[in-house]
Amino acid sequence: MKVLLTICVVLLVITSLLLIGSILLHKGRGGGISDVFGGGISTSMRSSGVAERNLNRITVGIALVWTACIVLIGLITKIQS
């Protein structure tokens, strides 16, 4: 169980960083934190609808793995105690 817990914690850290990055890459709906990382320069590169849909799918997939890690860590710690 200790190995599974370690794997889940490492996976949680990796998916947390990936989730933060993928959320920050989303197209901004106005003046927000996404404008800090490029503003008007990168808006023409990110305007593709296909790229935005793929980024949405990747973000949802990462969020599902992140949620599964949270649930598994909770179950493992409950079983161990």
* Each residue's pLDDT tens digit, 34-61: 566 665 555 555 556 888 889 999 999 9
For residue 81, what pLDDT band results from cuts at 50, 70 and 90? confident
Residue 69 parent element (H or E): helix 49-80
**Is 32 a residue whose pLDDT tops 70?**
no
What pLDDT shows up at residue 51? 84
For residue 26, what pLDDT band results from cuts at 50, 70 and 90? confident
CB atoms within 10 A of CB 69: 20
What pLDDT shows up at residue 13? 97
